[in-house]
Amino acid sequence: MPAGVQAGHRAGESGVKGFAVGRGWLEQVLFNMAVPPSLRRGDVEVLIAQQQLNVAVVEQLHAARLAFYAALYNRSLESIRDEQRQKLAENVTTEKDRYEAGLADKSAFTSASVQASELVPEIESAHRAYRESQLKLAEAMAIDPAKSTLPEPEGELQFIPMRLDVDSETAAALQRRSDLKLARLFVRGANEDQRIIAADYYPVVAGTINGEYVPVTGIHRQGSTSKTQDFIGSEIREKAAYTWRVIDNGKVGGAVLKARATREMNELTCRKLEANVSRELSRIANDLKGIDARERSLSAASVAAEESANAVRENVATGLASPLDYRVSQNAFLTTRSGLLEAIYQHNVAIAEWDRASGRYFQFSDDNTKSR
C-alpha cells in the first residue's frame, strides 16, 4: 500500500495532508483444461485387452481344429492298417494249411506270419496317436477326462480343392488378423506413454482476471491547481490473460528416451509381423499346390493298387499267382492308401494354417469376404 505526504498552498486548501493508495488483486481461474492420461491410455488398455482375448480365442480354435484333424487321421490310419492285417491274417491261415498239406515249405508260412505281425505295432501306434488327439481335443474344449468321456470326432477327412489369391488375401489379412491389431495397439500405447511422460500432449491451460481498484481518498492529482481537478471517483482497471503451461516431466532424466525406445521396438515388431503375412501365405499356397499334386498322384496309384490287389487275389484262388504275390500287392495297396490318407490330412492342416494366417478365424457379421 503506497503512502506519502502532500503539502502546498492551493485555493480552498491549506496545511499538510497525508495520503495512501490501496491496491487489490483478484485472480479467478476461468478454466483449467488438463486431459487426464487415463482418458486416452485407459481406452487403449481396454482395446488391448479385447485383442488379447481375440488372439487367445484364435489360438484355441486353431488348436482344437488341428486336434480334430489329427484324431480323424489317426483313427482312419488305424482302421486301414487293421483291415490290412485281417487280410494278411487270412493269408497266414492259407499258408499254414498249405504247409500242413505239404504244398509249401515252412519259410512261406513264416514270412506270411512275420508280415502280418509287423502291422500290430503300427496299429497300436496309430491307436495311441488317436487317444492323444482325443486328449488334446478335450483340452481345447475344456472337457475334464476324469469326469467325462473323451470326445469322439465325427466324419472323415475330406479333400476340398481351393483357389487361392495371395495378393488379395494378404491385404485382407492385414486388416483382419487379431495379432496384428494387437501389435498396432501396443505401438499406440507406447506412443501415448511417451507423450504422457513428455507432457507434450497433456498441457495445462489456465485463465486469470487481474484488476486494480483505487478508492476516493481526497488527495490531489499531480499538477492540479484546483479542487475540481482532484479525484472525483474510484478507479478500476481490469484485464484478462491465459497461460499455456507445459510441464517437463522426464525429458532430461531420460524417461522419454526409454519410452521412445519401447515404442520403436513395438513398431519394429509390428512391421515384421505385417511383412511376414505375405511370405507366410505364399509358403502355405506353395505347400498346398505340392500337396494337391501328391494327392492326385496317390489317388490314381491307390485305384491302380486296389485293382491289382483284387486281381492277384483272384489269381491266387485259381492258382495263377502265388501267396507271395498276394502279400506284395497288399503291401503296395496299404502303402498307397496310407500315403493318400496322409496327403488328405496334410491338405486339411494346410487349409487350417491358411485360415489362421489370413485371419479367417475371426470374421464378424460385417465381414462380407467369402471364405472360399
Could you tell me the CATH number of the domain that includes residue 32?
A: 1.20.1600.10
Average pLDDT over residues 228-255: 57
Q: Which of 137, 140, 169 is nearest to 153 (CA)?
A: 137
Amino acid at residue number 253: G
11 in a structural domain? no
107 in a structural domain? yes
**Res. 69: pLDDT tops 60:** yes
133 in a structural domain? yes
13 in a structural domain? no
More confident residue, 231 or 348: 348
Q: Which of 343, 312, 10, 356 is nearest to 159 (CA)?
A: 343
14 in a structural domain? no
96-126: burial string, b at 16+ Cβ within 10 Å, e else? bebbeeeebeeebbebbbebbeebeebbeeb
Average pLDDT over residues 47-57: 89
The pTM (predicted TM-score) of the whole model is 0.69
- How does the average pLDDT of the chain come out, rounded? 78
Amino acid at residue number 348: N
User: Can you say whether residue 158 is alpha, beta or left, with left for phi > 0 and alpha for psi between -120 and 50 degrees?
Assistant: beta
Number of domains observed in the structure of the chain:
1
Q: Residue 226: pLDDT band by 50, 70, 90 thresholds?
A: low
Whole-number Å distance between alpha carbons of 321 and 306: 16
31 in a structural domain? yes
3 in a structural domain? no
| Percentage, residues of the chain above pLDDT 90 | 29
78 in a structural domain? yes
Tell how far CA 297 is from the center of its chain: 37
Return the minimum-mean-pLDDT range out of 72-81, 198-207, 357-366.
Answer: 198-207
State pLDDT tens for residues 1-26. Answer: 555 555 555 555 556 665 555 555 55
Note down the domain range covering 339.
21-221+229-362
State pLDDT tens for residues 273-313. Answer: 999 999 999 999 999 999 999 999 999 999 998 888 888 87
